[in-house]
């Protein structure tokens, strides 16, 4: 996979596509063609290479297919190779990592894709059952996982219930979507969030997260889509930092049975 990533990044046209998505994530093929003044066929071929290297992932919104940057391959390269690079190359890789993981603040969605050696059934368990979620997330959900059903979030002994915390979609082993939790003073205290940030979060419309599950041979493709409804969302900025680490913990648990160590 490393060879595919480096090959994908070696072409200047593909780097232009990544730059375009870094400037405005979630573009259609038509928007990418217009913004780069490239032929549709050329853009499609370059996107296919970037998707094969997992540097670009897609999500459908109605009839449109949107393209997003994906940080997971760069995370993997950094973990494997960073100690072998000199300082300048390491800095360049870190710059690319930040570009992929921290897209522009004007965007309304954060998308992250990874591949896990597991089954769709096992991954569904890990996303829904407290015995799993407590281990890599520290959170347990009380719900029957039916669309429209309420969800109670339990974290560090605090239970958060709200009429707007609900399951949106639930297709076992394929797709799960729910609204994000309510930002309470208790949650802020546990998370180390100050009063000013909490006030901004409370004023925003509630965001939502969707998990798309797709079996691929002996692995499963997991795409996390976190959507906000306010420009420059504080909540979206926070979760785009948190999801890569959270998904990494999920992947480690499913593939090894162990959890990642707590940060010092």
The half-sphere exposure of 39 on its side-chain side, counting CA atoms within 13 A, is 3
pTM over 0.95? The answer is no
pLDDT in the model for residue 98: 47
201-237 pLDDT per residue, tens? 999 999 999 999 999 888 999 999 999 988 889 999 8
The half-sphere exposure of 141 on its side-chain side, counting CA atoms within 13 A, is 22
Is the pLDDT at 92 greater than 60? The verdict is no
What mean pLDDT is reported for the chain? 85
Is the pLDDT at 80 greater than 60? The verdict is no
Higher-confidence residue: 151 or 15? 151
Mean pLDDT confidence for 37-58: 88
pLDDT in the model for residue 246: 92
Question: Hey, what domains does the chain have and what are their CATH numbers?
Answer: 2-104 (1.10.10.10), 111-256 (3.30.530.20)
Percent of the chain with pLDDT over 70: 84
Is the pLDDT at 135 greater than 60? The verdict is yes
pLDDT in the model for residue 249: 92
Higher-confidence residue: 37 or 149? 149
Provide DSSP, 11-56: SHHHHHHHHHHHHS-SB-HHHHHHHHT--HHHHHHHHHHHHHTTSE
């Amino acid at each position: 996979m490393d060879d595919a990533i480096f090959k994908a990044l070696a072409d200047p046209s593909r780097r232009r596509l990544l730059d375009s998505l870094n400037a405005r994530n979630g573009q259609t093929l038509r928007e990418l063609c217009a913004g780069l003044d490239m032929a549709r066929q050329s853009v499609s071929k370059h996107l296919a290479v970037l998707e094969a290297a997992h540097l670009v992932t897609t999500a459908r919104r109605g009839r449109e297919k949107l393209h997003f940057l994906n940080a997971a391959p760069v995370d993997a390269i950094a973990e494997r190779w960073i100690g072998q690079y000199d300082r300048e190359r390491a800095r360049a890789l870190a710059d690319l990592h930040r570009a992929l993981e921290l897209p522009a603040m004007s965007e309304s969605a954060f998308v992250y894709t990874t591949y896990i050696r597991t089954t769709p059934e096992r991954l569904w368990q890990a996303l829904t059952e407290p015995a799993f979620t407590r281990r890599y997330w520290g959170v347990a959900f009380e719900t029957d996982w039916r669309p429209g059903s309420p969800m109670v979030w339990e974290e560090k002994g605090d239970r958060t219930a709200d009429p707007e915390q609900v399951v949106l979609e639930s297709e076992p082993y394929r797709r799960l979507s729910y609204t994000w939790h309510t930002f309470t003073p208790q949650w802020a205290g546990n998370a180390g969030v100050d009063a000013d940030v909490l006030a901004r979060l409370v004023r925003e419309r509630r965001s939502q997260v969707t998990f798309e599950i797709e079996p691929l041979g002996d692995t499963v493709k997991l795409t996390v889509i976190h959507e906000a409804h306010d420009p420059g969302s504080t909540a979206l900025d926070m979760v785009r930092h948190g999801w890569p680490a959270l998904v990494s913990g999920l992947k480690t648990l499913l593939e090894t049975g162990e959890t990642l160590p707590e940060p010092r």
